[in-house]
Amino acid sequence: MNESNNKTHLNFIEEIIEEDIRSNKHGGRIHTRFPPEPNGYLHIGHAKSICLNFGLAEKYNGKANLRFDDTNPVTEEVEYIESIKEDIRWLGFDWEDREFFASDYFPQFYQFAIQLIKAGKAFVDHSTQEEISKMRGIPTAPGTESPFRNRSISENLALFEEMKNGKLKEGECVLRAKINMSSPNMHLRDPIIYRILFTPHHRTGTEWCIYPMYDFAHGQSDSIEGITHSVCTLEFENHRPLYEWFIQELEIFPSRQIEFARLNVEYMMMSKRKLLLLVNEKIVSGWDDPRMPTISGMRRRGYPPEALRKFATEVGVAKRENLIEYVRLENAVREQLNNVAIRAMAVLRPLKVIISNYPEGVEWLPVENNPEDPNAGIREIPFGKEIYIEQEDFMEIPPPKYFRLSPGGMARLKAAYIIRCDEVVKNEDGSILHLLCSYFPESKSGSDKSGLKVKTTIHWIECQHALKAEIRLYEKLFEVKEPAGSDEDFRTLLHPNSLEVIEGAWIEPSLANAEIHQSYQFMRTGYFCLDKDSTKDHLIFNRTATLKETWLKT
């Protein structure tokens, strides 16, 4: 590939980075970071950010840090930290020894604040919250300067120290940067940078009773870590002038912030706050419910990490908000699973078939593990006189062009024989008890000499060796394409039947050895994986995806 050709494939962040490398900015060094706030589990949007930040570091021989933005002691929990690390590792990325916490920088932030006060660029404000927001005004007209704005440096230093030493009450005062109350950018109108909070922090305990605001911690953390390219989502574009002001006033490392559009996917809602509500209100079984847009939910559902990475790359990096079709994610999953998933047979809604002319006992028939993978080998599955087929593979009064089983009709059993339906045996209530069929011994798969022609191959399970399983089928959690964009209470937008549990399914005996999260293609029914709640006596499979794009057809 020549250079100009190559260039057309760069996204705008890569273009910036390559330009910086060419001009030897920061000695050509590339350093990114993923900065989650540990206040929830990561979702597919975070996966996009992880792939971007770690991917850029990989591509340009740089480094990527993991930094927990844990400056708010109120919402953060240790459980979230562990889940975040697990998810990043599972996606296939490694932060090596670069695991940082913004809270480790509290002493440094405190010094930064003092530096600003000493430069006459910050002041302690005793106005109330309401007064402050009222004075901030509206973007089209200048705000009002606080009556406390011109306190002396020494008074500010003394008050800030009192704040730090717990001498003042929560809400009594705040520290504000002294910038410009007339700026059209509201973030520059003397933003609050420190507040009093008597909430213990998960790492610093009760050491601090003042905490920096996000805007006074995020950019500075980047500078402290020498982050060269600080990639974030568009909503921070307006904050950039403020971060640059801090960099300039504090004379710290000039990380460059670059904004891109956050990933939005159809039918998904990605606000952690709302996802937490779904969990707390038990609308889903937990953060890792397979219907959740979380990385842990997708893992449990059977989405392979390769598929998430591929999806994240394929959707690209945009400068404008957009909405990605759900089917693109699902197709990335299908593509990957088609290559790697072992084929198996499972009958979800069974109908018993007795093969009248088949002898007692079973024979073991060879079947390919994965026709897409020549190295996947074969396994043997039992075949016998009594089998289950799928209810929908039989119709007593078939419509035209129905090529599956019907009275007098024939179908091939996958990897076995052709059978013909001779009789429908019914219960007293008229429902079907079982079918009586006959098989054609000379039609054995692989050595068919019968000369019979059938249009359909169906899957089946031999009854004696069959294992019972619970199968969970999922629909999208929300019925509307943009649940986040709706004004309605999001609870009213939920799909009423997003989970269907099938208790009495039958699966082939080889699946007794399935491992948690291992993917299978159940022939003709979709991709499935063993759920983490499975036990040897109670196998549970999640449907990862259907084989075709049927679920989005309206």
Q: Would you name the residues annotated as active-site residues?
A: 37, 262, 272
Total residues interacting with ligand ATP, rule: CB under 6 A: 14
Q: Which of 35, 73, 290, 305 binds ligand ATP (CB under 6 A)?
A: 35
259 binds ligand ATP (CB under 6 A): no
Half-sphere exposure for 438 (CA within 13 Å, toward CB): 7
Q: Which of 271, 313, 457, 486 binds ligand ATP (CB under 6 A)?
A: 271
The minimum distance between CB 430 and ligand ATP, in angstroms, equals 53
Q: Which of 17, 45, 227, 358 binds ligand ATP (CB under 6 A)?
A: 45
232 binds ligand ATP (CB under 6 A): yes
- Cα separation, 279 vs 292, in Å, equals 10
Nearer to ligand ATP, 275 or 530 (CB): 275
262 binds ligand ATP (CB under 6 A): yes
49 binds ligand ATP (CB under 6 A): yes
Q: Which two tokens stand for residue 305?
A: 């990490």
Kindly write out the interface string for residues 179-208 of this chain, putting x where it contacts ligand ATP by CB under 6 A and - elsewhere. ------------------------------
Phi-psi region of 344 (alpha: psi -120 to 50; beta: other; left: phi over 0): beta
Taking CB under 6 A as the binding criterion, the range among 146-154, 185-193, 264-272, 305-313 that sits at the site for ligand ATP is 264-272
SS3 93: coil
Q: Which two tokens stand for residue 27?
A: 């000695």
Q: Which two tokens stand for residue 243?
A: 């971060």
233 binds ligand ATP (CB under 6 A): yes
Q: Which two tokens stand for residue 170?
A: 């929560």
64 binds ligand ATP (CB under 6 A): no
Strand-strand pairing, 192-196 and 432-439: unpaired
The minimum distance between CB 262 and ligand ATP, in angstroms, equals 3
- Cα separation, 508 vs 64, in Å, equals 45
Q: At what angle do helices 305-314 and 326-340 cross, to 10 degrees?
A: 140
Listed residue (117, 76, 97, 140) closest to 216, CA to CA: 117
263 binds ligand ATP (CB under 6 A): yes
The minimum distance between CB 266 and ligand ATP, in angstroms, equals 13
Q: At what angle do helices 106-118 and 240-250 cross, to 10 degrees?
A: 80
445 binds ligand ATP (CB under 6 A): no
87 binds ligand ATP (CB under 6 A): no
The minimum distance between CB 63 and ligand ATP, in angstroms, equals 17
Nearer to ligand ATP, 257 or 438 (CB): 257
213 binds ligand ATP (CB under 6 A): no
Residue 375's alpha-carbon distances to 415, 508, 521, in angstroms, are: 19, 21, 17
Q: Which two tokens stand for residue 364?
A: 């073991």
257 binds ligand ATP (CB under 6 A): no
Nearer to ligand ATP, 271 or 450 (CB): 271
270 binds ligand ATP (CB under 6 A): yes
Nearer to ligand ATP, 270 or 344 (CB): 270
Q: Which two tokens stand for residue 281?
A: 């209100």
486 CB burial (10 A radius; 0-12, 13-18, 19+): middle
295 binds ligand ATP (CB under 6 A): no
Q: Which amino acid is at 87?
A: D
Q: Which amino acid is at 275?
A: L
The minimum distance between CB 87 and ligand ATP, in angstroms, equals 12
Nearer to ligand ATP, 271 or 285 (CB): 271
- State the DSSP H helix or E strand holding residue 424, giving kind and residue range, or none if neither: strand 418-426
The minimum distance between CB 265 and ligand ATP, in angstroms, equals 9
β-bridge partners, 438: 420
Q: 124 Cβ partners below 8 Å, 6+ apart?
A: 148, 151, 155, 156, 159, 160, 163, 173, 174, 175, 176
317 binds ligand ATP (CB under 6 A): no
Residues at the contact surface with ligand ATP, assessed by CB under 6 A: 35-37, 45-46, 48-49, 232-233, 262-263, 270-272
